[in-house]
Amino acid sequence: MNSTQTIPSVDLEDFLSGNAGRKAQFVETLGKAYEEIGFVALKNHRLSDTLVNQLYSEVEAFFNLPEAVKMKYAIEGLAGQRGYTPFGQEHAKGRNTGDLKEFWHFGQYVEDKDPIQKEYPQNVAVAELEKFNSVGKEAYQTLERTGQDMLRALALYLGLDENYFDPHIKNGNSILRPIHYPPITGEPDDAVRAAEHEDINLITLLMGASADGLQILNKQKKWVAVTALPGQIIVNVGDMLQRLTNNKLRSTTHRVVNPPREDWGKSRFSIPFFLHPRSDMPLNCLPECIDDENPKLYEDITAGEYLNERLKEIGLKK
């Protein structure tokens, strides 16, 4: 394995500054990074240290609840889209071995009488933890706003109207997923904390995890470790955006490896925000990304149809 990968860093303040030059430079740096590696580190992302610390505290408290209590929140029939998903239930596409993790899902909060609310399950309230749901909601909505700005920048990079994505992600099917990778208590054989995969969604926003482990597969087919510096989050391209852009922007393969044996007794916590569009968004390859050298690579499909396919592939939907 190689050393830690230095991924390009961008500052959201540049995009929001009102200065045309700073904004254009942000757009160019972000777009080029997503063509080359699919990951950036983002500064000034709106998440305060206080909110991050509160969220991790609530998440750790939830996963420390007795198993029987947590299982009350594993709701049948939701394909894991809200509430609790037990240890080992999800696996990477193309694998049958379950990942060494358990997780929770916060979903969209439709607060404007949008009819799309009928498509979404209600968020699940945890009775045992007074602040768990309110802190989760605040983090969800903060990251959703930051994700909207990132997509506005990408729209400009792709030659689209800056607000191209706005109607597609308003009340979109995004997910905030607190993950617990428990201590490893026995030889894991071929199981890892999260096997190699690409994210399904448009973009993923990842606040710093409680321990190392994230690796990406670079162009030289080498696994390299990635960590965010203090004050930064990592934002990466998902398969929906790669498909929409006809592979112009890269959904990079990544994984979470098991720690060294001496650290098997330690838990790892991670909280990604998967920004999804509304189910009716067409993921048809953009005309701006198709030419003689780059013919159309994908069949037309909606975001909802594509998500259903992928949920079946990773074992969350039958």
Domain ranges for the chain? 9-71+105-311
- The reported pLDDT for the residue numbered 91 is 43
Of 54, 39, 45, nearest in space to 7 by CA: 39
**Candidate ranges 2-11, 234-243, 248-257; pick with highest mean pLDDT:** 234-243
Whole-angstrom distance, CA of residue 79 vs CA of residue 63? 20
- Whether 88 shows a pLDDT value over 80: the answer reads no
**Widest CA span of the chain, in angstroms?**
59
Above pLDDT 90, what percent of the chain? 65
- CATH fourth-level superfamily of 9-71+105-311: B-lactam Antibiotic, Isopenicillin N Synthase; Chain (2.60.120.330)
- Whether 98 shows a pLDDT value over 70: the answer reads no
By CB atoms closer than 10 A (0-12, 13-18, 19+), residue 62 is buried
Q: Which residues pair with 167 in a beta bridge?
A: none
Whole-angstrom distance, CA of residue 144 vs CA of residue 87? 27
What is the model's pTM? 0.89
More confident residue, 175 or 225: 175
- The reported pLDDT for the residue numbered 92 is 47
Of 155, 179, 156, 177, nearest in space to 168 by CA: 155
Whole-angstrom distance between the N-terminal and C-terminal Cα of the chain? 36
- Whether 95 shows a pLDDT value over 50: the answer reads no
Q: For residue 303, report the phi and psi dihedrals to the nearest 5 degrees.
A: -60, -40
- Whether 11 shows a pLDDT value over 90: the answer reads yes
- Whether 46 shows a pLDDT value over 90: the answer reads yes
- Whether 30 shows a pLDDT value over 60: the answer reads yes
**How does the average pLDDT of the chain come out, rounded?**
88
Q: For residue 34, report the phi and psi dihedrals to the nearest 5 degrees.
A: -75, -25
Whole-angstrom distance, CA of residue 74 vs CA of residue 64? 15
